[in-house]
């Protein structure tokens, strides 16, 4: 019966990140620097809010778009942090994680035969959804531009079929972000074009050397902003994402969301309300720690003679594999596991443009990072 399975589904693959992680997860005494998950616990007051929701029997369906009080809190949060203005009544949707937000946005705006421009290398969660919509992912090569998806890069890939441009910043896997000036140039480029922008800003609270700036403040009518609490408040398992979009498109996204999940989990919504109000600055403590880790890892990588761009945000380094190591990124990552018990993510997991690199997450304790880089050094010494 397998021949009856939807061909589009058969032609997509499990995320290369998860595939590699699952493959090596049972390796004894392994140091893993693979998964992009904060190693901090969810703040205690946020957990308590979730417990209260259970105790108070707040366990039923909510409004499809989410509890209005939470949508108001989300509007206030991005208004204060990023000067974004959205009406909580009809321009905000609470989703089951940012992943669902990406899914239902693409399913709303894409038609068969349309194209979506993505920075390459990029997080692997976009391409499969684009293909399931019958659209075509078009990778814009950012490798010679320090992984920055700027207007000059984008312009070369725009065609009459372009329906959407994905701007994930800070980026997974590179940590590259975009400045206000760079985003203004993108806005100028697209101002007279019928092209949506999907601004994936899930790491917006983890920008280190500048203030995060959202393109939604200058190209509002074409921009769909996606955010959430997984990275900012260490709430990956609570599955709360948020869509901010103009009413004309939000109304249609809501229909897809309704038939997909009905609503985000009621209990998680109450935890999210606490996070966005009482915990509005919870990310600052984590951010401070990430800055220290970033400096440590960067200095170690430079001393090991790796070619690497210092990330502006998120918690990843995207590192070029030394030219004398004649291995694919997958085989290099596998060799690290077998020879020194260190797991990183092969760059090929982030599109073909990631080949020749590996991703290292610094969302781990300093002790883990130190031991991981000691093992990397040992591998390099053994393979000169």
Match 């919504």 to its residue by tokens. 269
153-205 pLDDT, tens per residue?
A: 999 999 999 999 999 999 999 999 999 999 999 999 999 999 999 999 999 99
**Res. 16: pLDDT tops 70:** no
Where are the alpha helices (H) located in 167-228, listed in sequence order? 180-190
> Predicted confidence band at 23 (pLDDT cuts at 50, 70, 90)?
confident
Tokens of 86: 């959205």
| Residue 4: both structure tokens together | 């009856």
Q: Which one is the CATH code of 2-41+282-382: 3.30.210.10, 3.40.1160.10, 2.40.33.10, 3.90.1150.10?
A: 3.90.1150.10
Q: Which tens digits make up the pLDDT trace of 225-269? A: 999 999 999 999 999 999 999 999 999 999 999 999 999 999 999
What gap in Å lies between CA 244 and CA 150, rounded to an integer? 22
Q: Which residue has the tokens 């239902």?
A: 104
Whether the per-residue pLDDT at 127 is higher than 90: the answer is yes
Q: What is the pTM of this model?
A: 0.96
Asked whether 233 and 268 are in contact (CB, 8 A), the reply is no
Which CATH fold topology does 44-276 show? Answer: 3.40.640
CB 319 within 8 A of CB 301: yes
Residue partners of 205: CB distance under 8 A and separation at least 6: 81, 212, 231, 232, 283, 287
Nearest to 98 by CA among 198, 223, 243: 243
**What residue spans define the domains of the chain?**
2-41+282-382, 44-276
Instruction: Tell me what the pLDDT averaged over the chain comes to.
Output: 96
Q: Is the pLDDT of residue 7 over 90?
A: no
Query: Which one-letter DSSP state was computed for residue 203?
Result: T
Question: Please, what is the Cα angle at 127 between 124 and 133, to 5 degrees?
Answer: 150
Would you call 118 helix, strand, or coil by DSSP? strand
Rounded Cα gap, residues 368 and 371, in angstroms? 5
């Amino acid at each position: 019966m397998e021949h009856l399975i939807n061909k589009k589904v058969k032609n997509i693959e499990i995320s290369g990140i998860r595939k590699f992680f699952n493959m090596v997860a049972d390796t004894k005494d392994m140091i893993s620097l693979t998964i992009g998950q904060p190693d901090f616990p969810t703040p205690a007051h946020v957990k308590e809010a979730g417990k209260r929701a259970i105790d108070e029997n707040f366990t039923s369906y909510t409004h499809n778009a989410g509890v209005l009080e939470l949508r108001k809190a989300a509007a206030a949060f991005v208004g204060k942090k990023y000067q974004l203005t959205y009406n909580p009544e009809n321009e905000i949707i609470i989703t089951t994680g940012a992943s669902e937000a990406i899914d239902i946005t693409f399913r709303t705006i894409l038609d068969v035969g349309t194209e979506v421009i993505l920075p390459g290398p990029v997080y692997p969660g976009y391409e499969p959804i684009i293909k399931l919509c019958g659209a075509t992912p078009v990778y814009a090569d950012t490798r010679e531009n320090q992984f920055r998806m700027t207007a000059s890069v984008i312009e070369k890939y725009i065609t009459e079929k372009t329906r959407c441009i994905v701007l994930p910043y800070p980026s997974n896997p590179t940590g590259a972000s975009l400045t206000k000036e760079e985003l203004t140039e993108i806005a100028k480029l697209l101002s007279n074009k019928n092209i949506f922008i999907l601004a994936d800003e899930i790491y917006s609270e983890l920008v280190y050397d500048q203030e995060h700036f959202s393109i939604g403040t200058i190209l509002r009518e074409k921009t769909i902003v996606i955010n959430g609490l997984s990275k900012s408040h260490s709430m990956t398992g609570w599955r709360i994402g948020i869509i901010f979009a103009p009413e004309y498109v939000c109304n249609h996204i809501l229909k897809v969301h309704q038939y997909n999940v009905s609503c985000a989990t009621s209990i998680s919504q109450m935890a999210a309300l606490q996070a966005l109000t009482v915990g509005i600055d919870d990310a600052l403590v984590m951010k401070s720690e990430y800055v220290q880790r970033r400096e440590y890892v960067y200095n170690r990588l430079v001393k090991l003679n790796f070619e690497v761009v210092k990330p502006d945000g998120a918690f990843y380094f995207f590192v070029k594999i030394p030219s004398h190591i004649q291995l694919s990124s997958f085989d290099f990552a596998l060799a690290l596991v077998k020879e020194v018990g260190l797991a990183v993510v092969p760059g090929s997991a982030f599109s073909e443009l990631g080949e020749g690199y590996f991703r290292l997450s610094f969302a781990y304790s300093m002790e883990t990072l130190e031991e991981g880089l000691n093992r990397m050094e040992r591998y390099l010494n053994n393979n000169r």
